[in-house]
Amino acid sequence: DQLGPTVCVGEILVEIVATTVGNGFMEAQPLVGPFASGAPAIFISQCGRLGGSAAMIGAVGTDDFGRVNLERLKGDGVDISAISIDPDYPTGSAFVRYREDGSRDFVYNIATSAAARFGWSEGVSNLIDRAGHLHVMGSALSVSSACEVIDKAVDIVKTRGGTLSVDPNIRKELKLDEATERRFARLVAVADLLLPSGEELERAAGVEGETNAIRRLFEIGVKEIVLKRGADGATYYSREGERIDAPAFIVAEIDPTGAGDCFGGAYLTCRRLGMPAADALTYAAAAGARNVTVVGPMEGAGTREQLDAFIATTERRS
Ligand code: ATP
Ligand code: MG
């Protein structure tokens, strides 16, 4: 952490959630929100809440949805100096409704919102010049302004001895254009920490099978991998061949959105604060599990004290 803050780049949104289960938004219905959201914002919120030095790059509009996010992140201790405020476009938003089978219907406004309208500014440059770690979400790679920032930031942070983590966050079926695919492969190759979930592991490695994928990723240059498996827990792999399985905590899942982002933010922050992998995994599993017990994508992100209490009182799967 001495080297400087953990920085995350990407979409900042509000999420508005249907309070009933069903299909889509074709009839008037009860909703709850706005909740602060966006995968990169959830990640950095969890970093800040755990007491890590954290900063966010992105954009919001001059509206209440933007203020909800700015106040939330500031309250979590996140440096918001490199979040720009767009005078012309509204803050990004996502309406979400869970279906009976657990899948979700969305109405997004991201590409044509402030969320996609930021770039390499003086504030961003000042932040990156003192950053110790950069976290990249695969989902941010579909936003061209985010790519411009990420490309420059990776070089600067790495050159000054900082580190990079990548959450692929790209579904296996999703075809990216050639330039994005190349950018993604380059990011994976220089990642100090890779945080894939399920099949994203094979997607990032470009080979089938967990063992093959892990081997391939270490060959490419990845330093450390933590594979997320939802309610089945998570597994840490080191280049030296060490494996640590972290069983999930047993909770009632109310809202699964944001589990992976809280898990990743907690794991990374604990590692940067000097914790061994096994302890960081426990906090990460607790952060992911605690977040799914609360409605809202980052409402359940815990502080160190809250996670300690959660760990002390919650059973784990065997
Ligand atoms: P997201 O839906 O946010 O993209 P993800 O797919 O990246 O999530 P998950 O594997 O769903 O990541 O969740 C991350 C971690 O959070 C898991 O490895 C687990 O430790 C914890 N977790 C997630 N869901 C549950 C659950 N229902 N019960 C207990 N722990 C959970
Ligand atoms: Mg994920």
Q: Which tens digits make up the pLDDT trace of 257-313? A: 999 999 999 999 999 999 999 999 999 999 999 999 999 999 999 999 999 999 999
Tokens of 21: 């289960």
Asked if pLDDT for residue 56 goes beyond 70, the answer is: yes
Ligand nearest to the CA of 263: 1
Tokens of 231: 């309610």
Provide the 3-class DSSP secondary structure of residue 242: coil
Task: Find the 180 Cα to ligand 2 centroid distance in Å.
Answer: 18
Asked if pLDDT for residue 318 goes beyond 90, the answer is: no
Sequence letter at residue 224 = E
How high does pLDDT run on average in the chain?
Answer: 95
Asked if pLDDT for residue 239 goes beyond 70, the answer is: yes
Asked if pLDDT for residue 202 goes beyond 90, the answer is: yes
Asked if pLDDT for residue 24 goes beyond 90, the answer is: yes
Residue of 172, 227, 263, 310 to test ligand 1 pocket, by largest number of atoms within 8 Å of CB: 263
Confidence (pLDDT) at 177: 87
Asked if pLDDT for residue 172 goes beyond 80, the answer is: no
Residue of 103, 228, 268, 291 to test ligand 1 pocket, by largest number of atoms within 8 Å of CB: 228
Ligand nearest to the CA of 291: 1
Helices (H), the chain: 39-49, 64-75, 122-128, 144-159, 178-189, 200-205, 210-220, 259-272, 277-291, 304-313
The average pLDDT across 97-112 equals 93
The H or E element containing residue 58 is strand 54-61
Identify the residue with better confidence: 175 or 1. Answer: 175
Closest CA to 305 of 50, 63, 27: 50
CB contact set of 287 (below 8 Å; sequence gap of 6+): 46, 50, 262, 263, 265, 266, 301, 302, 307
Asked if pLDDT for residue 222 goes beyond 80, the answer is: yes
Q: Whose CA is nearest to atom 4 of ligand 1?
A: 260
Confidence (pLDDT) at 218: 98
ipTM over 0.90: yes
Confidence (pLDDT) at 142: 86
**pLDDT confidence tier of residue 168, bands split at 50, 70 and 90:** very high
Residue of 197, 290, 315 to test ligand 1 pocket, by largest number of atoms within 8 Å of CB: 197
Q: Which of 52-61, 137-146, 157-166 has the lowest mean pLDDT?
A: 137-146
Confidence (pLDDT) at 315: 96
Task: Find the 278 Cα to ligand 2 centroid distance in Å.
Answer: 21
Ion ligand 2, residue ranges at CB < 5 A: 169, 197, 260
Tokens of 3: 């080297």
Asked if pLDDT for residue 129 goes beyond 80, the answer is: yes
Q: Residues lining ligand 1, CB < 6 A?
A: 197, 228-231, 233-234, 248-249, 251, 253, 256-261, 263, 285, 288-289, 292
User: Residue 253 CA: which ligand 1 atom is closest?
Assistant: 27
**pLDDT confidence tier of residue 2, bands split at 50, 70 and 90:** low
Asked if pLDDT for residue 1 goes beyond 70, the answer is: no
Confidence (pLDDT) at 113: 97
Confidence (pLDDT) at 144: 86
Q: Whose CA is nearest to atom 10 of ligand 1?
A: 230
